[in-house]
Amino acid sequence: MKKFNLLFSLGMTIFTMVGIYSCSNGSSASKVAKPNDVPISIGSGMNGYGINTMYVSITLCKDQSGTNCQTIDHIILDTGSFGLKINKSALPESFIADLSRIKTTADETVYACNTFGSGYVFASEHYASLRLAGDYSESVVVQIIENSPTAEIPDSCLAKGPFDDFEDFGANGIIGVNPALTLSNNTILLYRKDINGIYVALTESEANSVPTLNQNPLTSLHYNNNGFVIKIPPTLTNTNTNITGHLVLGINTEANNTITKDTNLIVASESSLSTVCNSGCFYSKIENPESTIPAVFDSGTNSWVFISNNIPICGYGYCPESPFVWNSWVFSYDFAPNESYQVTGIITKDEESAGQDLSFSVMPGWGYENTNNETLYGSPFFFGKNVYIVFPSKANPSPIWGFKSYR
């Protein structure tokens, strides 16, 4: 997910090789159909601040028995990050106190500082049981974000930038479903408290004793754990205030998540934790400036983010006087034949760019300049498509993405 400081805040070659299996717990595709459809809402969020943001609701329970459960709405669905992070303010204190804590081998509770493209979040670390549609996990890591203005945060975490407030996106938290599956603990800062209650950085050996904190929670689901589909209907520029889509759990396990021969497929790099694109590298060929640069598909970024010399730039993004057709081509990481996908975005001067009061929360034409030599296909890319995400497996060690028109 990349946050912006805004007003509110392939072909048959691959198809034949895709052997789909459940990936995390050894269970195969379900024999009896299980509910696997999670509604996605795209609108203004819980507080009117959301734009182009995909939200789902999740249920957390103390454990698999289903006791002491909480349903939390307006959780950002993010293909560009890892793990489940919930604002502390969205949960009752009694529920938080009832969850098991993640600890070092010396029985010391663990805290983490995570960084996004625009700042940090600081969290206590817990275990909970996750429920989505008719599926469940016995245990996932839940990071509970200290989002109070008076929260005590270590100085080394504060130095990572501004606090990344999910409420600025109209959200109570985020579920990171990156198909690279896990992000190493050495990419974040880990702490414990000393006898005086002061945060102390974990030593390397202490950090190595902590379970991986940032991992895709969908891999721990009992039935449909080998990937997912995001289905979003088409939208018209600046005419929608709310739209509804679907997060369909699993790939080739039920009738509603089957990859068919008309699906365009591309393959990500096996070296999926690149410093440039941590969800698996693709390459995007763009025009003017003509170049081929790394690319990611990031549902947690709420605009098209790319480089163009053809479109005027205003204070809050690209602002062409009339709709501008931006074309690019995405290739698999190794440029294999027949593994490419043409992407067309219609970039418009949205109200945000024009400096007007915002009245639309769905803006498929919103484009934003990127100066980091990469292309981010943010949430507007997903509009009007079925996007299939296949997790790595023994048969296919790289993440696979598939695209076809919404139906």
CATH of the domain at 187: 2.40.70
* Together in a domain, 207 and 242: no
Structural domain contains residue 113: yes
pLDDT, one tens digit per residue, over 284-318 is: 899 888 988 888 899 999 999 999 999 999 877 89
The pLDDT score that the predictor gives to residue 354 is 59
Do 240 and 213 fall into the same domain? no
Q: Encode burial over 22-54: b for 16+ CB neighbours within 10 A, e otherwise.
A: bbbeeeebbeeebebbbebbbbbbbeebbbbbb
pLDDT greater than 50 at residue 274: no
The secondary structure element, H or E, covering residue 93 is helix 93-98
Residue type, 266: I
- d(Cα 68, Cα 52) in Å, to the nearest integer? 33
pLDDT at residue 350 greater than cutoff 80: no
Distance, in Å, from the CA atom of 355 to the CA atom of 121, rounded to the nearest integer, reads 29
* Rounded distance between C-alpha atoms, residue 92 and residue 109, angstroms: 20
In the chain, how many domains are there? Answer: 2
Residue 222, pLDDT above cutoff 70 = yes
How far lies 77's CA from each of 217, 276, 315, 318, in Å? 12, 21, 27, 25
Residues 236 and 186 both lie in one domain: no
Instruction: Tell me which of 220, 240, 271 is where a domain ends.
Output: 220
Q: Is the peptide bond before 179 cis (omega within 30 degrees of 0)?
A: no
* Cα–Cα separations (whole angstroms), residue 324 to 4, 308, 350, 364, 380: 22, 11, 12, 12, 15
Residues 279 and 234 in one domain: yes
Place of tokens 């509603």: 256
Domain boundary among 220, 240, 260: 220
335: left (phi over 0), alpha (psi -120 to 50) or beta: left
Which residue has better confidence, 96 or 22? Answer: 96
Collapsed DSSP state (helix, strand, coil) of residue 78? strand
| Helix/strand/coil for 95 | helix
H-helix or E-strand containing 208? helix 204-208
**Percent of the chain having pLDDT more than 90?**
60
Which pLDDT does position 258 carry in this prediction? 96
314 and 384 inside one domain: yes
What number is the average pLDDT over the span 345-365?
A: 76
Query: For 272-285, what is the mean pLDDT?
Result: 60
> 394 exposed, middle or buried (CB, 10 Å; 0-12, 13-18, 19+)?
exposed
Q: pLDDT class for 31, splitting at 50, 70, 90?
A: low
129 lies in the same domain as 174: yes
pTM of the model: 0.90
User: Among residues 181, 200, 220, which one ends one of the domains?
Assistant: 220
Q: Which of 245-249, 265-269, 336-340 has the highest mean pLDDT?
A: 245-249
Full residue range of the structural domain in which residue 290 is found: 227-405
| Predicted local distance difference test score (pLDDT) of residue 353 | 58
Instruction: Give per-residue pLDDT as tens, 94-121.
Output: 999 999 999 998 899 999 999 877 789 9
Tell me: the pLDDT tens digits for 149-192? 889 999 999 999 899 899 999 999 999 999 988 888 888 999 99
Q: What pLDDT is recorded for position 40?
A: 98
**Confidence tier at 357 by pLDDT (50, 70, 90):** low
By mean pLDDT, which of 25-39, 97-111, 242-256 is the weakest? 25-39
pLDDT of residue 8: 22
Buried b (16+ CB within 10 A) or exposed e, 216-235: bbbbbbbbbbbbbbbbbeeb
CA distance linking residue 174 with residue 53, whole number of Å: 11
The predicted structure's pLDDT at residue 187: 85
pLDDT for the residue 244: 95
Q: What is the pLDDT of residue 99?
A: 96
Q: Cβ–Cβ contacts within 10 Å for residue 236, how many?
A: 11
- Do 283 and 244 sit in the same domain of this protein? yes
User: Is the same domain home to 233 and 315?
Assistant: yes
Q: Which residue has the tokens 């990500």?
A: 268
